[in-house]
Amino acid sequence: MKNKKLSYLAIIVFHALIALIIFVIPFLSKIYALLIVLIGFIVITRNENRNNEALFVSAYLVGAEVFLRMTAGNFNNEYVKFSVMAFMLYGMIYSNFSKNAFIYFIYIIFLIPAIFVTTSEATFNVDVKKVLVFNLSGPLCLAICAVYMFKRRITFDKLQNILISLGLPIVTTTVYLFLYTPNIKDVVTGTQSNFETSGGFGPNQVSTILGLGMFVFFTQLVLFSKSRLQLLINGGLFIFISYRGIVTFSRGGIITAAAMIACLFAVLYYFSNAEGKRKFSFVFVLTILVGTGIWVYSSFQTNGLIEKRYANKDARGREKKDRLGGREEIMNQETDIFIDNPIFGVG
């Protein structure tokens, strides 16, 4: 047990060091991106995917994508998606897939008409290949992952390890953000999404991945911390990641994380016995207190601007006309387009 504790702490420290090294030598981000893929294929090959190693590597890549984009480590915009598809397909070579997953092949077939629509409607100044890759890589990656996962049994212990694989690169991302802007007060001047507190990358994307990290380490804290050391590590990471997520001033990822944690509480409470419900009631109250502390500290560091951000106000306290940063208009347009083209869509 002690070895496991030390190894978990060592892995966390190692991923913090990755952030430090790449912050000092940015070019190494590409080496990091390449090593993830190379080591992933070696691990899957050696174990012949007996323990679903393809899932662990893919989860790690998903957790690392924003960091790789932030530090220019991606070899192209779809690097992680193509890598995940490759790992899923490679894993299926060893461990096959369910015949009943055929339904997802139908989903893939339904994507084909979009290719013909795009090529026929594209103008001379449109890079058709780039447009197709950009729009189809996500749905195709989703379909291949669905084929791999269909009726594949994952034990609770393996689920924990998958979450850890997902969360480790998020630790790297968070440490990098701290190195990029150690003093929040120096860069926060308004209530708009802040690129300085997001490592110079898109605050929406950074908020999203940090929100995912909040959920990952909260689950580790509540469900998988079997010692005081693990409680301290997971609790500290949850607080650190939550704080850095809040000060990106992008609300989506944080609100989503809070909703996921609330759903987790609801599920755990529903399936617990009387004694378990008493324990989770205590954990729930403690979580509220910790969350309040994180919020108060974030408000102090941003001179109260974060409160105005979530209240949809500008730096002077005036309420903004739109609540979603102009997204309402886009949503209305998309809804109207769907109503006009409910069957075949618009390509």
Along the chain (347 residues), what's the average pLDDT of each consecutive run of 10 residues?
65 95 95 95 93 94 94 89 94 88 84 73 67 81 91 88 94 95 83 82 91 95 87 94 92 92 89 80 89 93 86 71 67 80 66
Letter for the amino acid at 3? N
Q: What is the distance between the alpha carbons of residues 42 and 48, in angstroms, rounded to a whole number?
A: 10
Q: What is the pLDDT of residue 322?
A: 62
Q: What is the pLDDT of residue 297?
A: 93
* Nearest in space to 234 (alpha carbons), one of 5, 1, 2, 60: 5
Q: What is the distance between the alpha carbons of residues 45 and 201, in angstroms, rounded to a whole number?
A: 35
DSSP 8-class letter at 198: G
Q: What is the distance between the alpha carbons of residues 60 and 44, in angstroms, rounded to a whole number?
A: 14
The whole model's pTM is what? 0.88
319-335 burial code (b ≥16 CB/10 A, e <16): eeeeeeeeeeeeeeeee
Q: What is the distance between the alpha carbons of residues 59 and 70, in angstroms, rounded to a whole number?
A: 18
Q: What is the pLDDT of residue 202?
A: 85
Q: What is the distance between the alpha carbons of residues 306 and 194, in angstroms, rounded to a whole number?
A: 11
Contact 66, 167 (CB under 8 A): no
CA distances, 4 to each of 8, 225, 236, 255, 326 (Å): 6, 12, 18, 33, 49
